[in-house]
């Protein structure tokens, strides 16, 4: 039963994190690749302040909003810098071993009273996912959702309509960081162990795959993409791979899937193909 | 009666790299006026529009919208002051539906709250306005289609409706007839005239089709090498021998 609960939590957590990637990458066209940094940052904040759950959560919450600083970076270096910050944060975690446990990480993370067992985490993350389904649905119907999609097509045109492209970008980046941070904290509470590889590029590949697969401004597509991407490597369990190889196999599957997606989907969602 | 000055440009200089694109341009545009800007390719017409709307920094001089200097304002702040513009490559979002494009214009002009679509009265009001605007240009049937599926002429008509709904009192229209068939040009001209007469907009148009422009505007300004070369009514400019020189050498 624990396996099924874990898979369910993985789906819910991935969805929570993917909402941010869906809004930034797929809808606004902002290649904000630092999503795993806030995932890891919030997970570690909770782990370090594990006896003061609310303080840890509050600190991490504020920390996620620091992603605002990324907006100050020039357009040309934005994607590279956000990707580089994943490596930078991992190096920080390894270096400050007094605080973060270094390469050994932090084990035995305590869960708060209302999330003692896995079914509790299923419930909390499931409720969060449902709330986000409603919120994202609302965003797509609201001016903010249209502005996001407008930003992807033309920043100039958006500005000429008295909408600040910078403000829209800032809000969506902070939102993505925050959601990623929440997902990170839930995952940290689920596995109760963190090391510097928590988050990182494997997490980025997972979330970017979901975001690329769900290019349409539709929550249903995002849910289906999350289910597909999260459940895809579970098929590997039916083969008798060495457990130590499973992680690498999973990344291989995602990488192949990304290559196929990029090859086949590029140009499929342009207006010329979407005649109504 | 003194007319209200909607746009004022004083000694505008725009330099991009080593090249002076606009040099010492001064002009005034008054409420309800339609002013046309013509000139050979590369004479700085579009840069002039970009400088007014804030997409290109100006070196010296000043831009005044409704007597307020806007030199240091971002493009979105200038738009909020009532400056709307179209673009050479059509100012509509092709990945959004026709309905969504017009919705964005209404949201901004009427300052609708973020949750307006949850109120049925506002929803039906917005719907009615969109239907009316699309009906006006015969595009109601495409309401839910992506703007990208429209032809060049239809896109221009949609853009005009968007500008109409977007409010503001100053419109900068950049080459409206580019990619538009002769049949649709008449409709486009009627739409632009309507924006001025029925909606009281002050309009500045850049256009290469002189016949189209002369029938539409109150005043013409000719740009040559980034400078204001000739200014006058369409009749005066047409009669000016220097215009022949500019176009035919």
Q: Convert the pLDDT of each residue in B162-217 to its tens digit.
A: 999 998 899 999 998 887 888 888 888 988 998 888 888 999 999 988 888 998 99
* Chain A interface, best mutation among B54, B70, B75, B122, by max A CB count within 10 A: B75
Whether the per-residue pLDDT at A73 is higher than 70: the answer is: yes
A271 touches chain B (CB under 8 A): yes
Is residue B207 within 8 Å of residue B172, measured between CB atoms? no
CA distance A261 to A4: 28
Residue of A nearest to B112 (CA): A143
Average pLDDT over residues A91-101: 89
Whether the per-residue pLDDT at A274 is higher than 70: the answer is: no
Which of A144, A159, A161 faces B114 most closely, judged by CB atoms?
A144
- C-alpha dihedral, B209 to B51 to B194 to B163, nearest 10°: 120
Whether the per-residue pLDDT at A224 is higher than 90: the answer is: yes
Which two tokens mark B236? Answer: 């005066």
Q: Between A and B, how many residue pairs show a Cβ–Cβ distance under 8 A?
A: 89
Whether the per-residue pLDDT at A18 is higher than 90: the answer is: yes
A142 touches chain B (CB under 8 A): yes
| Cβ–Cβ below 8 Å for B149 and A275 | yes
Task: Report how far apart the first and last C-alpha atoms of chain A are (Å, whole number).
Answer: 45
Confidence of residue A128 (pLDDT cuts 50, 70, 90): very high
Is residue A167 within 8 Å of residue A148, measured between CB atoms? no
B190-199, B214-223, B226-235, B238-247: the lowest-pLDDT one: B238-247
Whether the per-residue pLDDT at A242 is higher than 80: the answer is: no
B166 touches chain A (CB under 8 A): yes
- Residues of chain B with pLDDT > 90, as a percent, come to 63
CA distance A248 to A245: 5
Model confidence, pTM: 0.87
Whether the per-residue pLDDT at B26 is higher than 80: the answer is: yes
Name residues whose C-beta falls within 8 Å of residue A95's C-beta, 6 or more positions apart in sequence: A102
A152 interaction partners in chain B (CB closer than 8 Å):
95
A143 interaction partners in chain B (CB closer than 8 Å):
104, 107, 112, 114, 116
Chain B nearest-CA distance from A34, in A, is 27
pLDDT at A111: 86
Which of A156, A161, A275 faces B108 most closely, judged by CB atoms?
A161
Considering only residues B73 and A246, tell me which one the structure prediction assigns the higher pLDDT.
B73
Is residue B151 within 8 Å of residue B94, measured between CB atoms? no
pLDDT at A268: 53
Is residue B107 within 8 Å of residue B116, measured between CB atoms? yes
Which two tokens mark B19? Answer: 């090249």
Considering only residues A271 and A17, tell me which one the structure prediction assigns the higher pLDDT.
A17
Question: pLDDT tens digit string along A173-222?
Answer: 999 999 999 999 999 999 999 999 998 888 998 899 899 888 888 999 99
pLDDT at A272: 42
Alpha helical stretches, state H, chain A: 2-21, 35-48, 53-64, 75-95, 97-100, 118-141, 143-153, 155-160, 165-191, 200-213, 219-231, 243-265
A274 interaction partners in chain B (CB closer than 8 Å):
146, 148-149
Confidence of residue A114 (pLDDT cuts 50, 70, 90): confident
Which of A142, A147, A153 faces B94 most closely, judged by CB atoms?
A153
Average pLDDT over residues A109-137: 91
pLDDT at B245: 78
Walk across the sheet containing B227-232 and list its strands: B83-85, B170-174, B202-206, B34-38, B219-224, B227-232
Walk across the sheet containing B5-16 and list its strands: B19-30, B5-16, B60-65, B68-69
A69 touches chain B (CB under 8 A): no
A20-34, A82-96, A247-261, B45-59: the lowest-pLDDT one: A247-261
Q: B171 phi and psi, to 5 degrees?
A: -120, 130
Name residues whose C-beta falls within 8 Å of residue A142's C-beta, 6 or more positions apart in sequence: B114, B115, B117
pLDDT at A145: 95
Say how many CA atoms lie within 13 Å of A140 toward its Cβ. Answer: 20
Q: Within the 88-107 window of chain B, which residues sit less than 8 Å (CB to CB) from chain A?
A: 91-97, 100, 103-105, 107
- For residue B87, which of B148, B10, B160, B19 has the smallest C-alpha distance? B160
Pairing status of strand B170-174 against strand B202-206: parallel
- C-alpha dihedral, A159 to A163 to A169 to A174, nearest 10°: 160
B173 interaction partners in chain A (CB closer than 8 Å):
none
A155 interaction partners in chain B (CB closer than 8 Å):
none
Which of A147, A157, A163 faces B91 most closely, judged by CB atoms?
A157
Residue of A nearest to B49 (CA): A160
CATH no. for B5-248? 3.40.50.300
pLDDT at B6: 93
Average pLDDT over residues A95-113: 87
CA distance A251 to A257: 10
Which two tokens mark B84? Answer: 């709307």
- Residues of chain A with pLDDT > 90, as a percent, come to 48
Confidence of residue A234 (pLDDT cuts 50, 70, 90): confident
Which of B74, B79, B117 faces A161 most closely, judged by CB atoms?
B79
| Cβ–Cβ below 8 Å for A150 and B93 | yes
pLDDT at A271: 44
Considering only residues A269 and A275, tell me which one the structure prediction assigns the higher pLDDT.
A269
| Cβ–Cβ below 8 Å for A159 and B76 | yes
Which two tokens mark B4? Answer: 């209200």
């Amino acid at each position: 039963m624990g396996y099924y609960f874990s898979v369910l939590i993985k789906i819910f957590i991935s969805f929570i994190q993917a909402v941010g990637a869906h809004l930034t990458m797929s809808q606004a066209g902002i290649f904000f690749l630092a999503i795993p940094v806030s995932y890891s940052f919030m997970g570690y904040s909770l782990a370090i302040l594990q006896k003061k759950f609310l303080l840890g959560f509050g600190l991490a919450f504020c920390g996620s909003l620091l992603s605002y600083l990324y907006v100050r970076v020039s357009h040309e270096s934005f994607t590279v810098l956000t990707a580089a910050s994943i490596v930078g944060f991992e190096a920080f975690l390894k270096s400050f071993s007094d605080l973060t446990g270094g390469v050994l990480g932090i084990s035995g993370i305590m869960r708060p009273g209302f999330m003692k067992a896995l079914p509790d985490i299923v419930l909390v993350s499931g409720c969060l996912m449902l709330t986000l389904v409603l919120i994202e649905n609302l965003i797509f119907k609201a001016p903010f959702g249209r502005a996001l999609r407008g930003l992807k097509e033309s920043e100039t045109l958006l500005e000429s309509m008295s909408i600040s492209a910078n403000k829209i970008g800032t809000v969506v980046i902070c939102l993505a960081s925050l959601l990623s941070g929440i997902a990170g904290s839930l995952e940290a509470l689920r596995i109760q162990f963190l090391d510097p590889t928590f988050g990182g590029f494997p997490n980025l590949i997972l979330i970017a795959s979901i975001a690329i697969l769900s290019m349409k401004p539709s929550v249903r597509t995002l849910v289906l993409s999350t289910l597909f991407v999260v459940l895809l490597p579970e098929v590997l369990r039916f083969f008798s791979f060495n457990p130590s190889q499973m992680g690498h196999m999973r990344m291989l599957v995602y990488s192949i899937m990304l290559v196929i997606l990029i090859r086949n989907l590029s140009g499929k969602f342009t207006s010329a193909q979407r005649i109504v | 009666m003194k007319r209200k000055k909607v746009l004022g440009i004083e000694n505008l200089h725009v330099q991009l790299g080593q090249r002076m694109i606009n040099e010492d341009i001064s002009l005034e545009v008054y409420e309800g006026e339609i002013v046309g800007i013509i000139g050979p390719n590369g004479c700085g017409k579009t840069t002039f529009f970009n400088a007014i709307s804030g997409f290109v920094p100006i070196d010296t001089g000043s831009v005044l919208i409704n007597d307020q200097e806007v030199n240091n304002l971002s493009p979105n702040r200038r738009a909020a002051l009532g400056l709307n513009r179209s673009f050479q490559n059509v100012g509509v979002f092709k990945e959004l539906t026709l309905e969504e494009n017009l919705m964005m214009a209404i949201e901004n002009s009427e300052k609708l709250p973020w949750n307006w679509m949850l109120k049925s009265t506002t929803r039906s009001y917005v719907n009615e306005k969109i239907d009316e605007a699309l009906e006006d240009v015969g595009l109601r049937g495409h309401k839910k289609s992506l703007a990208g599926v429209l032809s060049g002429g239809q896109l221009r008509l949609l853009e005009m409706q968007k500008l109409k709904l977007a409010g503001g009192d100053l419109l900068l229209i950049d080459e409206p007839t580019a990619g538009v068939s002769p049949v649709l040009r008449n409709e486009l001209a009627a739409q632009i005239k309507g924006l001025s007469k029925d909606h009281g907009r002050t309009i500045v148009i850049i256009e290469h089709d002189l016949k189209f422009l002369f029938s539409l505007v109150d005043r013409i300004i000719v740009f040559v090498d980034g400078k204001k070369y000739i200014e006058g009514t369409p009749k005066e400019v047409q009669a000016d021998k220097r215009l022949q020189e500019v176009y035919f050498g």
